[in-house]
Chains A and B, each alone.
Chain A
Amino acid sequence: MSLLRVENLTASYGASQALFGVDLTVAEGEVVSLMGRNGMGKTTTVKAVCRMIPSAGRLTFDGRDLHPLPSHAAARLGIGLSPEGRRCFRDLTVAENLAAAARPGPWDIARVTALFPRLGERRAQRAASLSGGEQQMLAIGRALTTNPRLLILDEATEGLAPIVRQEIWSAIATLKSETGMAILIIDKALKELSAVADRAVILERGKTVWTGPMAALTPDLTDRYVGV
């Protein structure tokens, strides 16, 4: 059974419709890549899943309808989000960022700092003073300390130095191999995605146009829909 099930999802920003029928599933332990060009509705889909914007269609998590839930209640069901643009709590230290969101479970501050040793070195440093890569690690770490069943990574490596990107991809691979956590990734790094993702879902103009195993993604498809 799918952990996350999205069927015919539609969403609008005021009068402007952004999603026209997104279909997407993520099973327990599965890593799914949500792909598409800029402005095709990937982040809007994530916002709808996390109940940050209103939407219509079928949207369930572990069989439970997400639509009536406020954002915080959806998160408490087990949806952990590392949002686009990192968005750490800038005035709190690294340790405080992690502690503020923490819920009981295997992921605590020690385990997060083991995954991202840089965060351990900067425990007492304010988030605002971290580099972009460190802020990204903190955003992922913060989502992990909520002990989610589904981790959503929205553009987690965008705009980062190659070495930092590699650290983050390596952490994602560790999460997959060691924890079996379900992960939904939005990213454009096809090579790295191919190494970690089981399936891909491609959006075009707010609608799902292709779903299949990562291995079945052809250069024709990626050229046409992803632009890489």
Chain B
Amino acid sequence: MIPERWLTFAVLVGLLAVALGALVMDRPFTITLATRATILALAAVGLNIALGQGGLVSFGHAAFFGIGGYAMGILAHHAQTFTPLELGPLTITGTKSMPVIWLTAVVASALAALLIGLLALRTSGVYFIMITLAFGQMFFYFAISWSAYGGEDGLSIYVRNDFPGLNTLDPIQFFGLCFTLLCLVLLFAGRLMRSPFGLALNAARQAPERVETVGLDPMRLRLLAFVLSGAVTGLAGALFADLNRFVSPAMFSWQLSGELIVLVILGGVARLIGPVVGAIAFVTLEHVLGDVTEFWLIWLGVALLLVVLFARGGIVGLVARRGHG
């Protein structure tokens, strides 16, 4: 067993080394795969704040991923078509600036998480799972019927959005951007876990009635965790849409919510680097086994079954002692 801090460092260095190695060997597709893993990891790190720390099994986190994606899609669409975005009395011009798009994605998904959380967090257990799933599906069906932005067919963005000083169309530069954001979010999530808020959230997961007797409101703790979680997942959605230069209702699908849960469980619930390990394992299996058989998800299922049965702490739990990374 190694300290979790070392594993966190090793995984991030490994991910960076894969991308840089692919650059040296001139394999842009591998860089894109590493970018995909990085973005999915970011989304799962977001989910892990709610699921791992707060014990909130959200089956609707694709809603925030999709909101982030559509925030990017809508703003970029209006920028590329030179049409203003009419929001009632407000008229906003589109933008291709990544920082502005990220901020919009984070704020929109945080607001959605606040509204969903206010209702969903009144329930617990299987009802919480169902209500978050229902919200996710509401967004999914809304996106399908939203013909102004492609409806079922989705929306293509012809050129990747801009970041000052970078050529975002260069795969390694876009990877670097996503990787930096992942590291910053991991730093934030690590500090959050160790903060009084993170400890109280963890305590509320273990024993909500005891938390109340020391003056902490479990509902408020969970709501804040859900909002932070949704905001991070929304940011990942915006990056994912930029990676593919395409948004579609599939970003809201319950399958994607399920995949995010799988990433967290596979890597290690409530472990800082767990979702990153889960996302790397997922993308690797998808790529390696996907080349061998179209039924690769069966093998993912087997891996998940083994983890649930024999390694409750996920892959990270097998190799690293618990710590805060």
A-side contacts of B217, CB under 8 Å: 70, 72-73
Tell me how far the C-beta of B112 lies from the nearest C-beta in chain A, rounded to whole angstroms: 26
Among A50, A80, A102, which residue has its beta carbon within 8 angstroms of that of B196?
A102
- B210 CB within 8 Å of chain A: yes
- A76 CB within 8 Å of chain B: yes
A89-B206, A89-B207 known; A72 vs B212 contact (CB < 8 Å):
yes
Asked if A52 and B199 sit within 8 Å, CB to CB, the answer is: no
Tell me how far the C-beta of A189 lies from the nearest C-beta in chain B, rounded to whole angstroms: 23
Asked if B216 and A72 sit within 8 Å, CB to CB, the answer is: yes
What is the interface size of chain B, counting residues whose CB is below 8 A from a CB of the partner? 17
- B218 nearest in chain A by CB position: A72
B-side contacts of A96, CB under 8 Å: 199, 202
C-alpha spacing A87/B216, complex, angstroms? 15
C-alpha spacing A142/B216, complex, angstroms? 13
A-side contacts of B218, CB under 8 Å: 72
Among A71, A90, A99, which residue has its beta carbon within 8 angstroms of that of B213?
A71
- B196 nearest in chain A by CB position: A99
Asked if A99 and B199 sit within 8 Å, CB to CB, the answer is: yes
Asked if A146 and B214 sit within 8 Å, CB to CB, the answer is: yes
Tell me how far the C-beta of A227 lies from the nearest C-beta in chain B, rounded to whole angstroms: 28
A-side contacts of B185, CB under 8 Å: none
- B203 CB within 8 Å of chain A: yes
Tell me how far the C-beta of A191 lies from the nearest C-beta in chain B, rounded to whole angstroms: 29
- B198 nearest in chain A by CB position: A100
What is the interface size of chain A, counting residues whose CB is below 8 A from a CB of the partner? 26
- A143 nearest in chain B by CB position: B214
- A101 CB within 8 Å of chain B: yes
Among B202, B206, B216, which residue has its beta carbon within 8 angstroms of that of A101?
B216
Question: Which of B206, B211, B213, B215 gathers most chain A CB within 10 Å?
Answer: B213
C-alpha spacing A97/B217, complex, angstroms? 16
Count contacts between A and B, CB distance < 8 Å. 67
Tell me how far the C-beta of B192 lies from the nearest C-beta in chain A, rounded to whole angstroms: 13
Among B196, B206, B210, B212, which residue has its beta carbon within 8 angstroms of that of A70?
B212
C-alpha spacing A76/B214, complex, angstroms? 8
A-side contacts of B214, CB under 8 Å: 75, 80-81, 100-101, 142-143, 146
Question: Which of B200, B202, B212 gathers most chain A CB within 10 Å?
Answer: B212
Tell me how far the C-beta of A67 lies from the nearest C-beta in chain B, rounded to whole angstroms: 16
- B170 CB within 8 Å of chain A: no
- B209 CB within 8 Å of chain A: yes
Among A80, A91, A102, A146, which residue has its beta carbon within 8 angstroms of that of B206?
A91
B-side contacts of A97, CB under 8 Å: 203
- A160 CB within 8 Å of chain B: no
C-alpha spacing A80/B212, complex, angstroms? 11
Query: Can you report 17 A-B residue pairs in the complex whose CB atoms are below 8 A from each other?
Result: A50-B213, A52-B213, A72-B212, A72-B215, A73-B217, A75-B216, A80-B214, A91-B206, A92-B206, A96-B199, A96-B202, A100-B214, A101-B200, A101-B203, A102-B196, A146-B214, A146-B215
Please give me the 7 A-B residue pairs with the lowest Cβ-Cβ distance, nearest first.
Answer: A75-B215, A100-B199, A101-B214, A71-B212, A76-B215, A89-B203, A72-B212
